[in-house]
Chains A and B, each alone.
Chain A
Amino acid sequence: GENVEQHPSTLSVQEGDSAVIKCTYSDSASNYFPWYKQELGKRPQLIIDIRSNVGEKKDQRIAVTLNKTAKHFSLHITETQPEDSAVYFCAASSGSARQLTFGSGTQLTVLP
């Protein structure tokens, strides 16, 4: 089955700096890669996703890049703000039923 590894597990940045979170996946058939944000005690919510026919996608301050050859994808957050502090999960979709396999999460802390 699919295996998703996520790094780093914790990340602290100064407000206004950029943050980058990286994930690798094992199943070359995976074709959908979403990123979820989970604030403390709340439900995970989709913030951005990318499909395998696209190399990069941007939405305001967040962007995701995908390298299918290397089987890795990354989340980029620019001009970080305190409200960006949360746990971020990457995921990859594979299998006949398109099951999502999640990474282990990155705790992002934006220091004021």
Chain B
Amino acid sequence: EAGVAQSPRYKIIEKRQSVAFWCNPISGHATLYWYQQILGQGPKLLIQFQNNGVVDDSQLPKDRFSAERLKGVDSTLKIQPAKLEDSAVYLCASSYPRGPGTGELFFGEGSRLTVL
């Protein structure tokens, strides 16, 4: 079974620039998550999708972050404009059938963002 795929693995940008991350979940996983993991901290949920609908985006800084999951499969997370404090690893995860209350989260390798 193929795992959760993410790209790019690394990205370095200047502050105020924009960046986009892509995630392809495990086939058949209805729930997709984006987590932000700052160095030395636990992952923090940014947004949760169930199929192509948003279930929870309460911790997403909507003035600069956006995410979409078209057709209920792949997802993109965008940051525009980036700030220094956005430097982190962005982890995508998926689960089946309805989220962590019933199933394991499978994480991708992550996309490491450095904002200079």
Interface residues, chain A, with chain B CB atoms under 8 Å away? 1, 4, 6, 31-32, 34, 36, 42-46, 49, 89, 91, 93, 95, 97-105
Contacts and interface: CB of A to CB of B under 8 A. Distances in A.
Contact of A43 (B42, B58, B110): B110
A31 B99 CA distance: 13
B40 A98 contact: no
Interface of B: 4, 40-45, 48, 50, 55-56, 58, 91, 98-102, 104-105, 107-110
Given A93-B100, A98-B101, 15 more contacts: A43-B108, A44-B43, A45-B107, A49-B104, A91-B42, A97-B56, A99-B45, A99-B48, A99-B99, A100-B100, A101-B45, A102-B42, A103-B42, A105-B40, A105-B42
**Closest 8 pairs between A and B when the two form their complex, measured CB to CB:** A98-B101, A102-B42, A43-B107, A97-B55, A98-B99, A100-B100, A46-B104, A93-B100
A49 to B, nearest CB: 7
A100 to B, nearest CB: 4
